[in-house]
């Protein structure tokens, strides 16, 4: 799943701040609680990926500038590792009053997605024999490539903070871990990394449309406070984690800002979480090919110009047109034409005119057509940027997995959607 630029801004802050989260919790993990909490975190992550039959995760992220809330995001995620099903909903609210939301459901046979900006469900169905091993499942971050090296770096960064560990046994089993750091207790290296991370975040925010209205903090950037609590249950799982990270800095006008990120994570309903596939009877549904092919929203007209060079100038002598007339049940129907202006026929002889129809049954669906000489050739249509299609003609198969397109003179493969004004 690719992240949007706006989400990347939030992620940038989270990544920058994660050093301090790690610091705080690694602080708690040092001393008597260090190995226990680290093992508990690893056990919890491993069981969430594969071990717990089902469970629910709730998370809340709140970002503030002084007392002004810039953004608040909440997620509610149900997972069933036995049935290989998941259900997720997220809501993000910004300081300017705007909010975004989305919902998704996934199992081995179907994936359903709906955003909060339109009353439509996008449904992708998968063949029974398709291997959907990665069905939106939780991935253990400790198994990611490079995770051991990152763990060693974090250990090195916080190696002198073990005196701040607090670990307390719970009467019902498990432990409560807590810790806090003031500005004077934060190592210089952490402050240096924080300054770099915050400046990078501000630069990224300046280059994109932002909804969080970040102040332009330029100097005296440092970690002001870190606090955190983690509750381990009697089974050894971390069922509740909270953390606050406060970064301070001064903007170009000399105004001090305290950026605070609050994170709440809760693991609950282990063994009792139930996931129900949404009932879409009567709902506005659009089916989407599992390999990202055309859907009904691509029905329409697409054009590009036929351009030649004459007398040292570029001259438009006509248009190429793709008409997508229907996309139904994965079957695409349409027509292709080349319309040359009178007087320019010799500059573009043998104009192609044909209808096509094909089934989107793999990632590179192809269709056959007849060229102006009566010969049968092969073509293919691909998705391009939003509102654009990419057309290949005169395809020559090299083997069963590879092919090439023999480009015609002055042939432009990029077609733009014609919109009604």
* Residue 136 φ then ψ, to 5°: 55, 35
Most confident of the ranges 142-146, 249-253, 397-401: 249-253
pLDDT in tens, 170-209: 999 988 988 787 878 777 777 777 677 767 766 666 555 5
370 three-state secondary structure: strand
Sheet order of strands, 121-125 included: 166-169, 175-182, 217-232, 238-251, 256-268, 54-65, 68-80, 85-94, 99-106, 110-115, 121-125, 285-287
What pLDDT is recorded for position 27?
Answer: 44
Confidence bin at 401 (pLDDT 50/70/90): low
Q: Please return the burial class of 87, using the count of CB atoms within 10 Å of its CB with bins 0-12, 13-18 and 19+.
A: buried
Q: Which residue has the higher pLDDT, 181 or 377?
A: 377
- Residue 188 belongs to what H/E stretch? helix 188-206
| Distance between CA atoms of residues 336 and 342, nearest Å | 19
What pLDDT is recorded for position 274?
Answer: 93
pLDDT in tens, 68-110: 898 899 999 999 988 889 999 999 998 888 888 999 999 888 8
Across 352-364, average pLDDT: 85
**% residues pLDDT > 70 (the chain):** 80
pLDDT in tens, 265-280: 999 999 999 999 999 9
Q: Which residue has the higher pLDDT, 46 or 208?
A: 46
What pLDDT is recorded for position 14?
Answer: 46
Of 41, 104, 97, the residue nearest 76 (C-alpha): 104
> What is residue 211's DSSP assignment?
S
What pLDDT is recorded for position 400?
Answer: 66
Mean pLDDT rounded to a whole number for the chain: 81
172 three-state secondary structure: coil
pLDDT exceeds cutoff 90 at 357? yes
Residues 6+ apart with CB under 8 A from 82: 53, 54
């Amino acid at each position: 799943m690719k992240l949007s630029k706006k989400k990347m801004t939030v992620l940038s802050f989270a990544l920058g701040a994660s050093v301090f989260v790690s610091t705080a919790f690694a602080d708690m993990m040092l001393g008597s609680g260090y190995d226990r909490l680290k093992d508990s975190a690893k056990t919890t992550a491993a069981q969430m990926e594969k071990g717990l039959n089902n469970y629910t995760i709730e998370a809340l992220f709140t970002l503030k500038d002084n007392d002004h809330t810039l953004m608040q995001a909440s997620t509610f995620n149900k997972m069933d590792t036995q049935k290989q099903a998941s259900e997720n909903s997220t809501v993000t609210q910004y300081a300017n009053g705007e909010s975004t939301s989305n919902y998704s459901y996934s199992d081995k046979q179907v994936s359903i997605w709906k955003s909060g900006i339109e009353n439509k469900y996008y449904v992708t169905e998968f063949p029974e024999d398709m291997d959907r091993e990665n069905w939106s499942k939780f991935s253990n971050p400790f198994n990611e490539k490079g995770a051991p090296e990152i763990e060693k770096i974090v250990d090195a960064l916080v190696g002198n903070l073990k005196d701040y560990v607090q670990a307390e046994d719970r009467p019902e089993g498990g432990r409560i871990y807590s810790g806090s750091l003031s500005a004077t207790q934060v190592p210089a290296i952490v402050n240096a990394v924080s300054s770099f991370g915050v400046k990078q975040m501000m630069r990224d925010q300046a280059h994109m449309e932002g909804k969080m209205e970040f102040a332009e903090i330029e100097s005296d950037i440092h970690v002001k406070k870190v606090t955190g609590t983690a509750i381990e249950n009697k089974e050894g799982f971390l069922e509740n984690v909270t953390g606050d990270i406060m970064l301070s800095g001064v903007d170009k006008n000399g105004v001090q800002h305290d950026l605070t990120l609050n994170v709440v994570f809760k693991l609950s309903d282990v063994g009792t979480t139930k996931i129900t596939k949404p009932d879409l009877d009567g709902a506005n549904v659009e089916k989407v090919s599992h390999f990202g092919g055309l859907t009904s929203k691509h029905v329409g007209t697409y054009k590009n110009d036929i351009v030649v060079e004459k007398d040292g100038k570029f001259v438009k002598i006509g248009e190429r047109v793709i008409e997508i007339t229907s996309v139904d049940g994965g079957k695409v129907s349409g027509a292709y034409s080349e319309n040359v202006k009178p007087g320019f026929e010799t500059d573009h002889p043998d104009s192609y005119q044909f209808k096509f129809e094909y089934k989107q049954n793999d990632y590179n669906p192809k269709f056959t057509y007849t060229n102006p000489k009566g010969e049968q050739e092969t073509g293919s249509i691909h998705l391009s940027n939003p509102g654009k299609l990419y057309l290949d003609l005169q395809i020559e198969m090299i083997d069963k997995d590879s092919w090439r397109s023999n480009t015609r003179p002055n042939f432009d493969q990029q077609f733009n959607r014609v919109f009604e004004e």
